[in-house]
Structure 1
Amino acid sequence: MKFLVVGAGAVGGYFGGRLVQKGEDVTFLVRSGRRAQLEQTGLVIESHAGNWSAGVKTLVAGEEADAPFDVVLLSVKAYHMGQIVEDLRGYVTEQTVILPLLNGYGHYETLWQAFGKERVLGGLCFISTTLDAEGRIVHSSPRHDVTFGEWDGGRTERVEKILEHMSCAGFDVILSENVQRDVWHKYITIAVISGITTLFRSSLGPIMADAHGHATCKKLLAEIVEITRLAGAPTKEDVEEKTYQIVVNSPFGMKASMLYDMEKGLSVETDHLHGYLLSLAEKHGRTATEFPVLQAVYGVLRVYEIFIYSSR
């Protein structure tokens, strides 16, 4: 099975690197600058689960692949999706399936329109990784999980085969028969954690230790769950309580990757996460002002992006 991993960043680089470490046939689709860095240093992973480094195969968009790819592993930032779709057109064939690991939901609509719904699996991951100044992938969470499955459920020959190749690769992999629900549950969780930690510019611990911060987080969670129910998302009835338990039981120093991006002065995915939720609310006859904490999160992040773009 031939994998094409789009990007060799914190997420794609980690899971793709572990697949290489296992011995799978993996190529990374990267920009020319990242290729030069990988040629010099190799792909480097620093993790409590085991450090690893090695040279890897790379492609730059437009270069010809030596054979068709079976699986495209997609874990880029959502604001790159427009360009990524164009970059992928030459590598997605009739035999290719796309496995996205992005947070949120809107990217599915983009991929379905570009490549057809039958070619796109559902997928998500749980991991905390970042690229350091030297381009090394630093894995700092106890989890490194991938969940995927057919969008309409069930088990098929193609997902069973992907499971076989992704298993025993140094991370946890789950084949889900209800991946739509899993995607929405992850969306809710990450929208809350990214929203509250960027709003307060703090890890979760201090926020949840303060009565006002704790209450604000609970209100944000309630607003997000209300919107997903308006939209008819296939979530469990107890999703709000389960998400709350995830938040309160997270490590004191837990930060969303979005906060790490802010601390580095990078772009953030607020339009894809929080903006999309507000657009869903409006689509179902509600206004943004009816969800004041979510609106505040979105406003803070939009102003941040205006600031970073104006200062470049």
Structure 2
Amino acid sequence: MRFLVVGAGAVGGYFGGRLVQKGEDVTFLVRPGRRSQLEKTGLVIESLHGDWASDVKTLVAGEKAEPFDVVLLSVKAYHMEQIVEELRPYVSEQTLVMPLLNGYQHFEDLWAAFGQERVLGGVCFISTTLDAEGRIVHTSPRHDVTFGEWSGGRSARVEKVLEHMSGAEFNVVLSENAQRDVWHKYIFIAVMSGITSLFRSSIGPIMADSHGHATCKRLLAEIVEITKAAGAPASEDVEELTYKGILNTPAPMKASMLLDLEKGLSVETDHIHGYLLSLAEKHGRSTAEFPVLQAVHGVLRVYEAGKSTE
């Protein structure tokens, strides 16, 4: 089975690298600058689960290659339009696309480009970043991938993907309810990214402060209310489950959005928070009904506007 991993960044580089470490056939679709860096240093992972480094195969958009069996997609959402066009030559009718992005809107983009039958449901749970030398630094105990058929159940093709991904140095689960898993992760990450970015803090101090704690709970309630109004296939107890997950999150944890913000990089707030507000409007709700979510989105949009004038 031939894997194409789009990007060799913090997420794709980690999971793709672990597949290489296992011995799978993996190619990374990268920019010319990242290719040059990888040719000098190899792909380097520093992790509490074990360090690893190796040369890897790379591909730059436009170069010829036969279509791949599986595409692992973990780019930032604001690159999706460009990435979809770059992927077309490498996707056939047999190719499976497994997105590991946060949110939901990217599924609609991928369905439009490749057809819903080629796109699997997928989420990951990991905290990684790239350091100044391009090394992937993994800082959380979790390094999990959950995927499955969007329509649910099991199939021979996802069983085969599971066979090839199992045994790598990360956890992989084949889900029979991928849509639910996607929405549960979306709700969790929308809260975590929103609240840590709003307060410019890791989650521990926010939850230790009475006002911070209350704001976090309010943000969670607003997001769950929107998803229920939209008929999203989340569990009835998703609010309780998400709240428990936040309480159990290690105190030093920062969402990747906050890490990007601290580095002065672009953030995915339109894809994560803006989409939720548009979903509310689509289902007849005023965005004024969701003031904390509005505040999160507004703060991050102002940040983005400030970046564009620098």
TM-score interval for Structure 1 and Structure 2 normalised by the shorter chain: over 0.9
Where does 1:23-172 land on structure 2 (aligned, <5 Å)? 23-65=23-65, 67-172=66-171
Return the alpha-carbon distance in structure 1 between the equivalents of residues 227 and 257 of structure 2.
Answer: 21
Aligned letter for 1:206? P
Partner of 2:253: 254
1:235-259 per-residue CA deviation (whole Å, 9 max, x = no partner) reads 1111101100111111111100000
Return the alpha-carbon distance in structure 2 between the equivalents of residues 117 and 285 of structure 1.
Answer: 27
CA contact (8 A) 2:67 2:89 kept: no
Where 2:274 maps in the other structure, the secondary structure is: helix
1:155-205 per-residue CA deviation (whole Å, 9 max, x = no partner) reads 111000000000010000000000000000000000000000000000000
CA-CA distance at 1:26 after TM superposition: 0.1
Return the alpha-carbon distance in structure 2 between the equivalents of residues 307 and 104 of structure 1.
Answer: 24
CA-CA distance at 1:118 after TM superposition: 0.5
Return the alpha-carbon distance in structure 1 between the equivalents of residues 307 and 129 of structure 2.
Answer: 20
1:227-286 per-residue CA deviation (whole Å, 9 max, x = no partner) reads 000000011111101100111111111100000000000000000000000000000111
Return the alpha-carbon distance in structure 1 between the equivalents of residues 41 and 249 of structure 2.
Answer: 34
CA-CA distance at 1:68 after TM superposition: 2.7
Q: How many residues align?
A: 310
Return the alpha-carbon distance in structure 2 between the equivalents of residues 223 and 68 of structure 1.
Answer: 42
CA contact (8 A) 2:5 2:12 kept: yes
Return the alpha-carbon distance in structure 2 between the equivalents of residues 246 and 133 of structure 1.
Answer: 31
Return the alpha-carbon distance in structure 2 between the equivalents of residues 113 and 284 of structure 1.
Answer: 22
CA-CA distance at 1:308 after TM superposition: 1.2
Aligned letter for 1:195? G
Where 2:205 maps in the other structure, the secondary structure is: helix
Where 1:90 maps in the other structure, the secondary structure is: helix
CA-CA distance at 1:221 after TM superposition: 0.1
Partner of 1:173: 172
CA-CA distance at 1:310 after TM superposition: 1.0
Q: Is 1:245 the equivalent of 2:248?
A: no
Return the alpha-carbon distance in structure 1 between the equivalents of residues 133 and 289 of structure 2.
Answer: 44
Q: Percent identity?
A: 79
For the aligned residues, what is the CA RMSD? Answer: 0.5
Aligned letter for 2:12? G
Return the alpha-carbon distance in structure 1 between the equivalents of residues 237 and 117 of structure 2.
Answer: 30
Where does 1:139-288 land on structure 2 (aligned, <5 Å)? 139-288=138-287
CA contact (8 A) 2:202 2:253 kept: yes
CA-CA distance at 1:287 after TM superposition: 1.2
Unaligned runs of 5+ in 2: none
Return the alpha-carbon distance in structure 2 between the equivalents of residues 179 and 231 of structure 1.
Answer: 18
Where 1:152 maps in the other structure, the secondary structure is: coil
Aligned letter for 2:219? L
What is the TM-score when the length of structure 1 is the normalising length? 0.99
Unaligned runs of 5+ in 1: none
Return the alpha-carbon distance in structure 1 between the equivalents of residues 237 and 118 of structure 2.
Answer: 31
CA contact (8 A) 2:120 2:147 kept: yes
Return the alpha-carbon distance in structure 2 between the equivalents of residues 153 and 245 of structure 1.
Answer: 26
Off by >2 Å, runs of 4+ in structure 1:
none
CA contact (8 A) 2:191 2:216 kept: yes
Return the alpha-carbon distance in structure 2 between the equivalents of residues 155 and 248 of structure 1.
Answer: 33
Aligned letter for 2:63? E
Return the alpha-carbon distance in structure 1 between the equivalents of residues 261 and 299 of structure 2.
Answer: 11
